[in-house]
Structure 1
Amino acid sequence: MISSNYFIDLFKSSSVVIELVWILIVILIASIIAVLIYLKFLRTILRRNEKSKKTLGKEFETKIITYLYSADEDSDKISSEQQLIIEDLKKETSKEYRKDILIATMLKLSYEISGEMANSINKLYVETSLLEHSLWKIKNKKWNLIAEGIRELTLFEVKEVEDLVKKHINHPKSEVRSVIQLYLVSLFHFKGLDFLNDIKTPISEWDQIQLLEVLQLLKTQEISGINNWLKSSNESVVIFSLKMAKIYNRYGAKDELISLLKHPSLAVRIQAIEVISHLSIIEAKPELIGNFDELAIEEQIAFFTMMENTYEVTDKPFILDNIQNPNFEIKFSALTILKELSLEDFNSFKVLSVDPDFVKIIKHLELN
């Protein structure tokens, strides 16, 4: 059997490099053992905390349900039993993390109920001083707490702090701006869109989709301000306004829509053409026809898509000029329109070209 003295003697007789390697190996093994012990300890703490949160959440849930069913049916005032529960919840949420657990429990229950009970939970949120907790988050310097606080105000339908929330409308973090926009539109509906007058930062495509979904759930369509927003220096505001102009058929904004055909952004110009087409604003056609060769190919394609729905006999010369356009989509649209305008002219151009795309389009249109 090899004794420990053998290893000690071997270590002492080794070169300095070998000694350093052995020292590093020992340190590394010790570090790994220490990390494993720490991770096990941390996992134990996390499990204990999670178990504690679940237990506390169940206790809060029981008290909230008792609160809801302790209401005085003949009065909107808080009953004596409810008041005791409020005081009890205040005492049990002296620490910040307990407030967050209570808020999470309230939100969980609010998803399962509606009507008067949902209003009662919103009232309980205020009475237990949780509103102050959310306001504290909004005033915090950490962006994630600001976003969390505003999200809570939205879910508990707190309208009275609109000005405080709006102070962050141009926050550098997009996550904060997103929850602010949803807060304003969810609680104030179309009036909440007034933030479009002040926002300097971009509104992401995803945020626009979310806002439109909220707006389309509303029964009323009393929207105002689109004409001014179409003139905004913020490109994303203009694009969002164009989407609203299309959804809500804002024909009254035709002058602003036509003026956007000269906007510096290609994306805006293309979307403007699509909205003009949707609203059948034929007053825009002369300008588009006159400047057709100067348009980007995407604009030309969008315009011909519009022409398929708004063509007139007087457009025939312009259509004839483009039946052999190098672009397949434009060529297809031009021949489609020509067939509708004058079948005789269409037939006379059937042998005009041996270009494969031209022949393919002709055959397709003859069969349809």
Structure 2
Amino acid sequence: MNNNQYFFEYLQNSPPIIELVWFMIGVSLLSILILIIYLKYLRTHLRSNEKIRETYQMKYELHLITYLYSGNEEETISPEQQTIIDELKKDLSDSFKRSIVVATLLKLKNEISGELDESIQKLYYQTGLINFSISKLRSRKWYVVAKGVRELTQFHIKEVHDEVITLINHPKNEVRKEMQLYLVNLFSFKGLDFLDVLQTPLSEWDQIQLLEVLQRFDDQQVFDIKPWLKSSNDSVVTFALKLADIYIQFQAKEDLIELLDHKSEKIRIELINVLGNLNIIEAKTILKNHFIERSQQEQIAFFKMMEKMPESDDESFLLEYIHHENFEIKLSALKILKMINSNTFNIQKHKGTEPDFVKIVEYLENN
């Protein structure tokens, strides 16, 4: 008691700044205490939810396995299966239980194949889960929409194509990405038709993901990239160039050559790389004739292109650039010259004295 009186007297006689410090210490300690209590409550709540989730998951797994193995050839749906469907329907009105049912279905779907996989998809229809997924497409919350499209993709629901494609220019990239993956996963190369009307950017990561999905399909059907090469959306043009390169779209040669005058330097540089990979000689002649008009990055890309298709006719052109101020151009010019005419290379190597030239010559002679 005396200690408390002494402390309060000390505060009363202390300067205001000391009183403020003690007040702040008290508030901080109280906040810490409240936070500790809340964290303990939160952890207990999460553990409780996890136990409930595990219980329901075991229950639904048992239901689903029973459903899968209780069918018979005489009836489309056996009485035992119908009982399970009815029980699941009752729980689907609860969003927590519904999320567990969906997760359990997907888990089983990833572990089995063939007729059992078809049975799971059938159950997805019979329980009405498909309606919940479709309803998410109309949500005002973008992450709910994205989740709905992802579920439709995972369960391979093709018949909602027309509704999903309306999200093509959704303001959120996450939604657009799920829409694009839905189309390509379910419709393969035909799903790329969305590129015809895409107005929003197709990010580099989105392009990589789409290409990864396409490469899973065994039958690499013929598709026409020409409309996409003419797109006003630069990201669509860039993606079309990747498709041209990977799937060797030599039939689009004329349209590719026309892109040499594209307004985007980035696209022109990527194009030059693709033209080299496709070994389109006509483009090489055009670029050689207008080399000076190109940016330095395009010039560097052109020399890399020439390395892929060296010809003896290039010699006079190369001799003009073996002393170029740019190191990469100079390196490529000497490298190609050595490939097409080693005698001319040996003559020219003694005519350069600048350090970079000498280093390049030494490197090429030893490699």
Place the TM-score, normalised by the shorter chain, in its bin: over 0.9
- Quick one: distance in 2 between partners of 1:131 and 1:366? 67
Give the 3-state SS of the residue equivalent to 1:326 in structure 2: coil
* 1:351–1:28 distance in 2 versus 1, CA, 3 Å: closer
Give the 3-state SS of the residue equivalent to 2:279 in structure 1: coil
Does the aligned pair in 1 maintain the 2:334–2:345 contact within 8 Å?
yes
Give the AA of the match of 2:156: E
Taking structure 1 as the reference length, the TM-score comes to 0.93
Determine the structure 1 residue equivalent to 2:30.
Answer: 30
Give the 3-state SS of the residue equivalent to 2:152 in structure 1: helix
Matches within 5 A, 1:231-270: 231-270=230-269
Determine the structure 2 residue equivalent to 1:357.
Answer: 356
Determine the structure 2 residue equivalent to 1:279.
Answer: 278
Determine the structure 2 residue equivalent to 1:334.
Answer: 333
Q: Which runs of 5+ in 2 are unaligned?
A: none
- Quick one: distance in 1 between partners of 2:8 and 2:248? 89
Determine the structure 1 residue equivalent to 2:128.
Answer: 129
Q: Give how far 1:65 is off.
A: 0.6
Determine the structure 1 residue equivalent to 2:140.
Answer: 141
Give the 3-state SS of the residue equivalent to 1:357 in structure 2: helix
* 1:265–1:19 distance in 2 versus 1, CA, 3 Å: same
- Quick one: distance in 2 between partners of 1:343 and 1:5? 101
Q: Give how far 1:146 is off.
A: 0.8
- Quick one: distance in 2 between partners of 1:14 and 1:339? 89
Whether 2:39 is the aligned partner of 1:39: answer: yes
Give the AA of the match of 1:252: Q
Give the 3-state SS of the residue equivalent to 1:264 in structure 2: coil
Give the 3-state SS of the residue equivalent to 1:353 in structure 2: coil
Matches within 5 A, 1:126-205: 126-205=125-204
Determine the structure 1 residue equivalent to 2:287.
Answer: 288
Give the AA of the match of 2:44: T
Does the aligned pair in 2 maintain the 1:328–1:357 contact within 8 Å?
yes
Moved more, 22-31 or 170-179: 22-31
Give the AA of the match of 2:53: K
Q: Give how far 1:43 is off.
A: 1.8
Determine the structure 2 residue equivalent to 1:100.
Answer: 99
Q: Give how far 1:130 is off.
A: 0.9
Determine the structure 2 residue equivalent to 1:298.
Answer: 297
Q: Which runs of 5+ in 1 are unaligned?
A: none
Q: Give how far 1:296 is off.
A: 1.9
Give the AA of the match of 2:300: I
- Quick one: distance in 2 between partners of 1:5 and 1:300? 86
Give the AA of the match of 1:59: K
Does the aligned pair in 1 maintain the 2:230–2:237 contact within 8 Å?
yes
- Quick one: distance in 2 between partners of 1:24 and 1:327? 65
Does the aligned pair in 2 maintain the 1:229–1:241 contact within 8 Å?
yes
- Quick one: distance in 1 between partners of 2:37 and 2:355? 74
- Quick one: distance in 2 between partners of 1:354 and 1:289? 27
* 1:76–1:309 distance in 2 versus 1, CA, 3 Å: farther
Determine the structure 1 residue equivalent to 2:215.
Answer: 216
Does the aligned pair in 1 maintain the 2:310–2:339 contact within 8 Å?
no
Does the aligned pair in 2 maintain the 1:99–1:133 contact within 8 Å?
no
* 1:43–1:283 distance in 2 versus 1, CA, 3 Å: same
Give the 3-state SS of the residue equivalent to 1:160 in structure 2: helix
* 1:88–1:335 distance in 2 versus 1, CA, 3 Å: same
Give the 3-state SS of the residue equivalent to 2:157 in structure 1: coil
- State the identity as a percent: 51
Give the AA of the match of 2:56: L
Does the aligned pair in 1 maintain the 2:300–2:328 contact within 8 Å?
yes
Q: Give how far 1:186 is off.
A: 0.2
- Quick one: distance in 2 between partners of 1:146 and 1:121? 23
Q: Give how far 1:19 is off.
A: 5.1
Determine the structure 2 residue equivalent to 1:317.
Answer: 316
Deviations 1:37-58 (A, max 9, x none): 2222222112111111111111
Give the AA of the match of 2:47: R
- Quick one: distance in 2 between partners of 1:3 and 1:175? 62
Alpha-carbon RMSD across the aligned residues, in angstroms, is 2.0
Determine the structure 2 residue equivalent to 1:119.
Answer: 118
- Quick one: distance in 1 between partners of 2:162 and 2:197? 13
Give the AA of the match of 2:308: N
Determine the structure 2 residue equivalent to 1:61.
Answer: 61
Q: Give how far 1:277 is off.
A: 0.7
Determine the structure 1 residue equivalent to 2:50.
Answer: 50
- Quick one: distance in 2 between partners of 1:212 and 1:24? 58
Moved more, 189-198 or 326-335: 326-335
Moved more, 347-356 or 174-183: 347-356
User: Would you say how many aligned residue pairs link Structure 1 and Structure 2?
Assistant: 367
* 1:17–1:255 distance in 2 versus 1, CA, 3 Å: same
Give the AA of the match of 1:311: P
Q: Give how far 1:286 is off.
A: 2.3
Q: Give how far 1:125 is off.
A: 1.1
Deviations 1:213-266 (A, max 9, x none): 111111222232301101111111111110110111111111111111111212
Give the 3-state SS of the residue equivalent to 1:111 in structure 2: helix
Determine the structure 2 residue equivalent to 1:366.
Answer: 365
* 1:95–1:353 distance in 2 versus 1, CA, 3 Å: same
Q: Give how far 1:2 is off.
A: 2.0
